[in-house]
Amino acid sequence: MPQLSPRVTDMNDQGSDGWEVFARARAMVEQGIPVTELTIGEHDIRTAPAILDAMHAAAHAGHTGYATVPGITPLRQAIATRVTQRTGVPTKVENVLVTPGGQAALFAAHLTTLQPGDAALYVDPYYVTYPGTLRACSARPVAIPTTAENSFFPTKGALDTAAQTPGAKTLLINTPNNPTGTIYPRAVLENIAQTCRDHDLWLISDEVYDTQTWEGDHLSPRALPGMAERTIVIGSMSKSHAMTGSRIGWIFAPPHVIEALSDLAVSTTYGVPGYIQDAALYALTQGPDLEQEIAEPFRRRRALALDVLARQGTVGVIPSQGAMYLMLDIRKTGLSGQDFANRLLDSHHIAVMPGESFGISAAGHLRIALTVNDDRLLVALETLCTFAQSLTRA
Ligand SMILES: Cc1ncc(COP(=O)(O)O)c(C=O)c1O
Going from the Cα of 254 to the center of ligand 1, the distance in angstroms, rounded, reads: 22
Q: Judge whether 6-46+289-393 and 65-286 match in fold.
A: no
* Confidence at residue 12, expressed as pLDDT on a 0 to 100 scale: 82
Residues of the chain scoring pLDDT < 50: 15
* Confidence at residue 188, expressed as pLDDT on a 0 to 100 scale: 98
Domain 65-286 in CATH 3.40.50.300: no
Q: Is 322 in the pocket of ligand 1 (CB under 6 A)?
A: no
Among 97, 152, 178, the mutation site with the greatest number of ligand 1 atoms within 8 A of its Cβ is: 178
> What amino acid occupies position 278?
D
High-pLDDT (> 90) share of the chain, %:
94
Q: Is 333 in the pocket of ligand 1 (CB under 6 A)?
A: no
Burial class (CB in 10 A: 0-12, 13-18, 19+), 242: buried
Going from the Cα of 132 to the center of ligand 1, the distance in angstroms, rounded, reads: 14
Q: If we measure between CA atoms, which residue out of 371, 387, 361, 392 comes closest to residue 305? A: 371
* Confidence at residue 18, expressed as pLDDT on a 0 to 100 scale: 61
**Taking the domains of the chain in order of start, what are their residue ranges?**
6-46+289-393, 65-286
pTM of the full structure: 0.97
* Confidence at residue 40, expressed as pLDDT on a 0 to 100 scale: 87
Q: Is 371 in the pocket of ligand 1 (CB under 6 A)?
A: no
* Confidence at residue 351, expressed as pLDDT on a 0 to 100 scale: 97
Report the b/e string of 339-368 with b at 16+ CB within 10 A. bbbbebbeebbbbbbbbbbbbebbbbbbbb
Question: Which ligand 1 atom minimizes the distance to the CA of 174?
Answer: 1
Going from the Cα of 207 to the center of ligand 1, the distance in angstroms, rounded, reads: 9
Q: What angle do CA 359, 360, 366 make, to 5 degrees?
A: 70
Q: Is 338 in the pocket of ligand 1 (CB under 6 A)?
A: no
* Confidence at residue 393, expressed as pLDDT on a 0 to 100 scale: 66
Give yes or no for a contact between 249 and 100, defined as CB atoms under 8 angstroms apart.
yes
Among 43, 97, 103, the mutation site with the greatest number of ligand 1 atoms within 8 A of its Cβ is: 103
Q: How many CA atoms lie within 13 A of 178 on its CB side?
A: 22
Fold of 6-46+289-393: Aspartate Aminotransferase, domain 1 (3.90.1150)
* Confidence at residue 14, expressed as pLDDT on a 0 to 100 scale: 58
Going from the Cα of 64 to the center of ligand 1, the distance in angstroms, rounded, reads: 26
Cα 260 to chain centroid, rounded? 24
Going from the Cα of 366 to the center of ligand 1, the distance in angstroms, rounded, reads: 19
Taking the C-alpha atoms of residue 61 and residue 173, their distance in angstroms, rounded to an integer, is: 40
Q: Is 127 in the pocket of ligand 1 (CB under 6 A)?
A: yes
